[in-house]
Chain A
Amino acid sequence: MIEIKNLYKTYHLKTGDVEAAKNVSLRIEDGEIYGIIGYSGAGKSTLVRCINLLEVPDAGEITVNGVQLTRMVNTAKGEKLEKIGNRQLNQARKGIGMIFQHFNLLDRSTVFDNVAYPLKYSGKSKQEIKKRVHELLELVDLTDKASVYPSQLSGGQKQRVAIARALANNPGVLLSDEATSALDPEATEAILNLLKKLNAKLGLTIVLITHEMSVIKSICNKVAVMENGEVVENGDVYDIFAHPKQTITRRFINTVSNLSKINKMIAEDVPLVRTSGNDRLVKLTFESESTGDAVISEISKRFDVRVNIVLANVEMIGDRPLGGIIVILKGNEEAIINTFRYLEEIKVGAEVLSNERTA
């Protein structure tokens, strides 16, 4: 389990102070794949680096795998951050693997030696190291590359070597700092599948930072959205997709949703989305329980409304479907109000998109 409480970090730059973390509190349970998403400069990199103290926060408590890495103590001068000793920190870091955007492999070492790096000088025999490295390379499917140098590998292969290296000491936690951002889509998918597999097989807790919502959508169970050093929204990935609260969260969701086309259509005033009179342009959201229900025909039968479907889409979030339909409801005021009431009753999300255009 990873627990972060009231974390603060400010960088004092020549151009002014940058608050990279402002009162951030997060709790990440064992076995979760926890995504942290934000634009560059949102503070997500700082946050993930605080988990293994590559970055030392100004204030806050960090506990990883039951080890308290930082805590606040009361002194005569007020509260002060107290950090774990260097030796214990290096020990604790062996239980927290980390992978990076640019892999950070040693160019002058073979794949074997790169993976063996964290095993050496830890009291293991050569035989043990050799055995463990081969296990790890098998895990990431690179056994045939043991004697090769990183420069001869593709980006995806390099990241797999980095993953094997990060897992050498059987850590309970893997931190991933934009690990797929430098990879092509195919390699990205392969790495994400590998992370998913490791999560299932080893019960590995993964904390993953990214600026791509597609990454969150495909492998995370939980997500935290960061903006200007603050976690503005967090929770279950499915819930966030179904009921985003913050504008920034919506923007991220729009990047992966086919329904986001509607915004462009509205902006360009495409005839298909023009409304008049009592017409309402509405986005209906169906969660896993209600997807597939014949809601459209039901409402047009029950109430005196006509339903024009503009766009429709079903997203798979993890293994649960999330449906969305954008429709224009046409009918008299009363019928439309009744329709909305009914939709609320059967728990179908309804969001009016361009009310101001109805004039």
Chain B
Amino acid sequence: MNELLEKLIPNVLDYSERFFTSCTQTLQMFAIAGIFTFLFGMLFGVVLTVTKRGGIRENRVIYYIVEIFTNVFRSIPFIILLIFLIPFTRALVGTAIGVKGAVVPLIFGAVPFFTRQVETALANVDDGKIEAARSMGSGTFGLIFRIYLHEAVPELVRVTTITAISLIGLTTMAGAVGAGGIGSFAINYGQNLNHQDIVNVCVVILLVFVCVLQTLGNFFSKKTTNRELITRRKEL
């Protein structure tokens, strides 16, 4: 086994420690940025839905602030955003390099994308359901949590999966500001030192990661759709 690996991916084994560190860094960036992206994106998506024209709490000012923020950061290419945000990142977390320094631009890169996706998912919730809930005396929070978010769960799972996958793409680019991770490992040790096997392994690792996310996403999206006969309330 070892001999086989030695033959196939000699350079990966030579740099195995650095390779594992890179994987950890990618996972760290993904997890930290992912959590913040999820929270902020969900929040902004809900805010856009609620404050839009004809929304349940129409508010022009708040709507346009979030709308403009989303549009501006969505139109800046991520690699530029990385450099652009360096001073801000340094002021916020004390450094602009490493995992810590990469998380801030990652969040700025992914939140607008996710916000739009959440907004679309919530827009697909039938207005009739909102109207029915209002007629039953539900207030703004009731409408958000018990109708919008509740009815959109399968769709939200789907868009979360899409965002997670694109976030992986962004983490590899964050290597450009010295964040480390699989992306910079592939460039610095694979491409620059001309070790094709390192590049190949990085591709495979990322591929597996994306596949796992997609499979999980599909599974939960299907599971939460609840259209088939489920007799979990047998006892009633």
Residues of A within 8 A of B (CB): 52, 54, 86, 90-94, 96-98, 100, 102, 104-110, 112, 117-118, 121, 130, 146-149, 151-152, 162, 165-166, 168-169, 175
Contact = CB atoms under 8 A, between A and B. Distances in A.
23 contacts: A54-B131, A54-B134, A54-B135, A86-B139, A90-B137, A91-B137, A93-B136, A98-B132, A100-B128, A104-B132, A106-B129, A106-B151, A108-B151, A112-B236, A117-B146, A147-B231, A147-B233, A148-B229, A149-B226, A149-B227, A149-B229, A152-B229, A162-B132
Top 5 A-B residue pairs of the complex, sorted by shortest distance between their CB atoms: A147-B233, A104-B132, A98-B135, A104-B128, A93-B137
Contacts of B133: 117
B234 interface: yes
Interface string B220-236: 00001111011111101
A117 B224 CA distance: 19
A152 B226 CA distance: 11
B153 interface: yes
B139 A90 contact: yes
A120 to B, nearest CB: 8
Interface string B15-46: 00000000000000000000000000000000
Given A112-B233, A130-B236, A147-B232, A104 B150 contact: no
B115 to A, nearest CB: 23
A93 B151 contact: no
Nearest to A107: B151
Contacts of B134: 54, 93
Interface centre among B134, B137, B233, B234 (most CB of A within 10 A): B137
B148 to A, nearest CB: 11
A107 B227 contact: yes
State the majority secondary structure of interface residues on A.
Answer: loop
Given A104-B128, A118-B136, A151 B147 contact: no
B150 A108 contact: yes
B135 A52 contact: yes
B136 to A, nearest CB: 4
B95 interface: no
Interface string B180-203: 000000000000000000000000
Given A94-B136, A149-B226, 7 more contacts: A93-B134, A100-B132, A105-B132, A108-B151, A108-B225, A146-B236, A169-B136
Nearest to B224: A108
Contacts of B11: none
B142 interface: yes
B75 to A, nearest CB: 29
B146 A151 contact: no
Given A102-B128, A108-B150, A117 B226 contact: no
Contacts of A162: 132
B128 to A, nearest CB: 4
A52 B135 CA distance: 7
B138 interface: yes
A337 to B, nearest CB: 58
Contacts of B6: none
Contact of A149 (B128, B150, B230): B230
Contact of A107 (B131, B226, B229, B232): B226
Contacts of A165: 136
Contacts of B147: 106
A301 to B, nearest CB: 61
Nearest to B146: A117
B137 A108 contact: no
Contacts of A105: 129, 132
Nearest to B227: A151
Contact of A121 (B126, B131, B132, B142): B142
Contacts of B226: 107-108, 149
